[in-house]
Amino acid sequence: MSHPLLRYLRKETLPTAFCPGCGNGILMKALFQAFDELGVKELTNYVFVSGIGCAAWIPSPFIKADTVHTLHGRPIPVATGIKLTRPELEVIVIGGDGDIAGIGGNHLVHAARRNMDLLVIMVNNMIYGMTGGQVAPTTPRGMKTTTTPYGNPEYTMDACALVASLGANYSARWTVGHFLQLKDSFKVTLKKRGFRFIEVVTQCVSRVSRRLGMTAAQHIKYFLKNSVHISKLKDRGNIDLDGKIVVGVYADRDRPGYLDIMREATKNLM
Amino acid sequence: MKFWSGNIAFAEGALKAGCRFYAGYPITPSSDLMEHMASKLPEYGGIFIQAEDEIASVNMIIGASIAGLKSMTATSGPGFSLMQEGIGYAVMTEVPIVIVDITRLGPSTGQATKAGQGDLMQARWGRHGDQYLVVLSASSVQDCYLTAIRAFNVSEKFRVPVVVLIDELIGHLWESVEVPEEVEIIDREWTETADTPYFGGKLVPPMPKLGKGLNVLYTGSTHDEWGYRKTQDPDVHRKLVSRIKRKIMDNASEIFKYRILGEIDGDVLFVAYGSPARSCREAVIKLAERGIKAGLILLDTLWPIDYKQLGKLVSNANKIIVPELSLGQLIYDILIVRSDNVYNYHKIGGGVPIYPNELVSYALEVLR
């Protein structure tokens, strides 16, 4: 008997290219379990769009669905073009923090502002992993990377707060240690319209955990120990991500998505 | 009969060709083309979106084309520069898109509202890696309408991005346009089955439809004929990139279009495209009045060039003059096929056209 979630994978592409101990597998399991629990047995109506980086390889080629592997930073505009053309398809973007918040940051801002009908999953390993471990917009301040050998002098980007501030319908952050909460967020967002953003904090075993002297399991325990639920924060307007990881749902609304607004605006033309 | 600007005529031609998706970002002197599409596309059941930048524009139209709609964007120099990586992705993944560059004066911001023709080499070769696409041009408002249709047809037929260079003088020129009742419209070949590969097998493979359970894989990385990434295998890379070259270059004689005016075997022969070609036409007539045998080769295709054919065309005239609104780029095509008596007439700055009388004087000077 094969594993029930194998149906979502292209078996001929396995094993994945990810390092042993990579968090991408936990994320995939949470997503697939969400599909399974929602009764989605085939991904025929789903299109996965990704850019460049380790996280971009999650759908391309491993997920058994239509997948579009685009340029570095550009999955959101490509996904926008697909969604507007084929609104009946569910379009999901999976990308890393460098892809989505770094080089593709402008697209993230404007897709969130438009409340574009996309689910964007940002896999945040706090580093440019594929290229060897350079500093990212999500790297904690003070952390040593190959391009910040004296410690990262820059403040850390809170992509969830950014997306929430732009009026998107959903914004949440979990670590891969928060498996059930992550799975529930996937289930909620797979049923919602508008722009939905889930940031998944994960360990890069090769570029971060190893340098910090941790195994993957120790790193996940570290995430859990250093996570603070958003409801426990006194001042939500001044979140300092240095030193702790804020988890939870930043925004959950049901404003009309871009498609609904456009349909309404042009309904008398058709 | 319609009275349109070049930009509006292109937009109308695109709609006629079946373009149903437009993404763009404001930039002079192309914005009025975008505004026309913003107002018209919804009437045709199409989709218009103003993107956050030109990088988003080109990637949105790539997504729309993959998802099934004929798609385009228009821009000008700086925006065209920003689109290059996306255009390269469309070349590699064989996604048909049309990109119009209403050319202005560079480099950089240059003279943003003034005409220039300095983007020719960038249109052909602006991307990294070996890549081949099609570049067309227009030299009248009527041309803009018909070139739009041709751009989509070529793009669909060969699954390739088509760049159209229209200089600002033509884009903002208002002229009468005859709208033909019947035009040939070519649609790409689609497949909804996994019988034939989507990225190989045939010279131009069919495009797979999304949402049909085909589990399509698109990637800008080197891929095999089913779309699987093969980033180590030298044979897969050679096969893919060579085919992408062959589908354009082996069809160069079909794609390469030009028009001849006057006598091409006489004393002086102009080779031009865009607004300078209009002045050449006038100069040919004026020179003929003086008893000088003159002619013009007006290039409608700027890439691929059928060099064998071009060589024949320019071999017999005494002098060849290549007028350009740049410091000279098209002239290199002539120098490939002929080394003697080839003259460049260039004019840049202020958006001042090349006037017919200047060309007459210059022709008389080189003939002296």
Pick the residue of A41, A63, A74, A83 with the most B CBs within 10 A to test the interface with B by mutation.
Answer: A74
pLDDT for A233: 84
At a CB cut-off of 8 Å and minimum separation 6, what does A178 contact?
Answer: A224, A227, A247
Residues B280-303: pLDDT tens digits?
A: 999 999 999 999 999 999 999 999
Query: Rounded mean pLDDT of B163-191?
Result: 98
pLDDT for A238: 57
Q: CB–CB of A86 and B51 under 8 A?
A: no
Closest among A262, A176, A180, A189 to A219, alpha carbons compared: A176
Q: CB–CB of B60 and A81 under 8 A?
A: yes
At a CB cut-off of 8 Å and minimum separation 6, what does A131 contact?
Answer: none
Residues A171-186: pLDDT tens digits?
A: 999 999 999 999 999 9
In a domain? residue A12: no
Q: For B2-177, CATH number?
A: 3.40.50.970
| Residue-range definition of the domain harbouring residue A165 | 22-269
pLDDT for B342: 98
Asked if B277 contacts B139 with a C-beta cutoff of 8 angstroms, the reply is yes
Q: How far apart are CA A119 and CA A219, in angstroms?
A: 27
pLDDT for B106: 95
* Any A CB within 8 A of B233 CB: no
Enumerate the residues of chain B whose CB falls inside 8 A of the CB of residue A109: 52
Residues A21-35: pLDDT tens digits?
A: 999 999 999 999 999
In a domain? residue A13: no
Confidence of residue A242 (pLDDT cuts 50, 70, 90): low
* Any A CB within 8 A of B219 CB: yes
Q: CB–CB of B49 and A84 under 8 A?
A: yes
Q: Is the ipTM of this complex over 0.90?
A: yes
Q: Is the pLDDT of residue A236 over 60?
A: yes
Confidence of residue A269 (pLDDT cuts 50, 70, 90): confident
Q: CB–CB of A67 and B43 under 8 A?
A: no
pLDDT for A1: 65
Instruction: Please give the structure tokens belonging to residue A206.
Output: 């090769």
Query: Rounded mean pLDDT of B258-269?
Result: 98
Percent of chain A's residues with pLDDT above 90: 92
Query: Rounded mean pLDDT of A62-75?
Result: 98
Global pTM value: 0.97
* Any A CB within 8 A of B96 CB: no
Residues B41-100: pLDDT tens digits?
A: 999 999 999 999 999 999 999 999 999 999 999 999 999 999 999 999 999 999 999 999
Measured in angstroms, the CA of A138 and the nearest CA of chain B are apart by: 23
pLDDT for A207: 95
pLDDT for A239: 58
* Any A CB within 8 A of B211 CB: yes
Position A57, amino acid: W
In a domain? residue A206: yes
Q: Is the pLDDT of residue B354 over 90?
A: yes
pLDDT for A234: 74
Enumerate the residues of chain A whose CB falls inside 8 A of the CB of residue B211: 44-45, 47, 66, 86, 88-89
Q: Locate CATH 3.40.50.920 in chain B.
A: 259-367
Confidence of residue A2 (pLDDT cuts 50, 70, 90): confident
- H/E stretch holding A235 reads none
Enumerate the residues of chain A whose CB falls inside 8 A of the CB of residue B214: 66
Q: CB–CB of A266 and B221 under 8 A?
A: no
Domain harbouring A164, CATH code: 3.40.50.970
Kindly tell me the sign of the dihedral angle through the C-alpha atoms of B157, B159, B165, B171: positive
Q: CB–CB of B215 and A66 under 8 A?
A: yes
Q: CB–CB of B60 and A109 under 8 A?
A: no
How many independent structural domains does chain A possess? 1
Measured in angstroms, the CA of B211 and the nearest CA of chain A are apart by: 5
In a domain? residue A181: yes
In a domain? residue A8: no
Q: Is the pLDDT of residue B337 over 70?
A: yes
Q: Locate CATH 3.40.50.970 in chain B.
A: 2-177
Asked if B295 contacts B284 with a C-beta cutoff of 8 angstroms, the reply is yes
Pick the residue of A16, A62, A70, A93 with the most B CBs within 10 A to test the interface with B by mutation.
Answer: A70
Confidence of residue A270 (pLDDT cuts 50, 70, 90): low
Q: For the purposes of burial, counting CB atoms within 10 Å of the CB of B290, is it exposed (0-12), middle (13-18) or buried (19 or more)?
A: exposed
Q: Which residue of chain A is at minimal alpha-carbon distance from B38?
A: A266
The mean predicted confidence, pLDDT, of chain B is 98
In a domain? residue A14: no
Q: CB–CB of B21 and A81 under 8 A?
A: yes
Instruction: Please give the structure tokens belonging to residue B152.
Output: 């989509």
Pick the residue of A57, A64, A76, A86 with the most B CBs within 10 A to test the interface with B by mutation.
Answer: A86
Q: CB–CB of B63 and A109 under 8 A?
A: no
Residues A42-56: pLDDT tens digits?
A: 999 999 999 999 999
Query: Rounded mean pLDDT of B146-154?
Result: 98
Residues A117-143: pLDDT tens digits?
A: 999 999 999 999 999 999 999 999 999
Asked if A85 contacts B63 with a C-beta cutoff of 8 angstroms, the reply is yes
Q: CB–CB of B64 and A85 under 8 A?
A: yes
Q: Which residue of chain B is at minimal alpha-carbon distance from A104?
A: B56
Specify the residue for token string 């589990």.
Answer: B215
Asked if A70 contacts A91 with a C-beta cutoff of 8 angstroms, the reply is no
Phi, psi of B63, rounded to the nearest 5 degrees: -60, -45
* Any A CB within 8 A of B44 CB: no
The reply to whether CATH 3.40.50.2000 applies to domain B259-367 is no
Q: Which residue of chain A is at minimal alpha-carbon distance from B69?
A: A85
